[in-house]
Structure 1
Amino acid sequence: MRVGVPTETKTNEFRVAITPAGVAELVRRGHDVLVQTGAGEGSAIADSEFKAAGAQLADTAEQVWGDADLLLKVKEPVPAEYELLRRNQILFTYLHLAASRARAPRPCWRPERRRSRMRRSKPPTAHCRCWRR
C-alpha cells in the first residue's frame, strides 16, 4: 500500500501525522511511504529524517494526495483539499465534526420514566422523533 503524509494546512496546526519511526515500521512491513517536503518542520522533524527512515519525498500536496492509497493527517481536510480526495482512497484523521453544526448529528435523548433517570436511547434513525429539527 502507498501511504501519503501531506503537510497540515489547517491554521495553527504544526504537528505531523507520523514520525520517522512510524515510517520505518511501515517500510519494514512492505509499504511505500510518501511524505510531503516540510511536513515535519512544525514538529522539528527534518525531511532528512523521513528519508533516512525510508520515505520518499514529494514536492506538492497534490502529488501526495494523487499517489497515496492511504492518507495520514492530524486534522480534518480543509475545503481546498476536498477536491484532492479520490474515490476508494482512505483518509485516516480526526474529523472534528462537532466544530461544524451542519455536519454534526444531534444527540438523541429520550426521557424514560424508569427510576426517574434520563437514559441514552439507541442511535437515532430516520424514524426517530428526536431527530427532527
Structure 2
Amino acid sequence: MVGTVAAVLLATQGCSPATPVIAPVPSDTDHVDAYFESFNEAGRQGTQAQDEFLRSTQHPDFADQACGLSGLVMDVYPALSTVRPDPDWEPEGGGKPAGAVYVVSVSTTVRQNGAMVGEQIGVRRIAVLDGRAYGFAPCAQQN
C-alpha cells in the first residue's frame, strides 16, 4: 500500500504544472541587518577595512561628509525588532537624505588595539536607496 501511494505521488508530481521558485525580495529590515553584519565583518579585519566600509557605504547625498574612526574599531549590534521608519530625520548640517530612512536601536562596543575602550547603547540611522543600505559615518556632531 505504501509503495502504491508513493508511486501515485511521484506520478502526479510530474503532471502538475511547474511552480517557479521565486527568491524573496529582501525587506528593508534585511538590508539594515546586512549592513551591520558587513560593518562588523569589516571591523574584524581591522580599522582600515572598517574605515573603507564606511566610505563605500556613506549615503551618496552626504559622501563629502564621511568621518573616519581615527584608529578605532566598532562592533554595532542592532535590535532589529526596533527598526522603524524615520522619514522626517535630517542629519545635522544637511537636508533630508534620499531613500527610506530607518532608525534602529543599537549596542556599540568601541575597541582600540584590540582593547575595549567604551560601550554605548543608542540609535543609528540607515537609508535604503535603490535596494542598497547606506549609513552615515559616525561623526561627533551627528545625533
Whose strand proportion is higher, 1 or 2?
Answer: 2
For the pair shown, which has the larger CA radius of gyration, 1 or 2?
2
Considering the TM-score relative to the shorter chain, is it more than 0.5? no
TM range (shorter): under 0.3
Q: TM-score, normalised by structure 1?
A: 0.19
Q: TM-score, normalised by structure 2?
A: 0.18
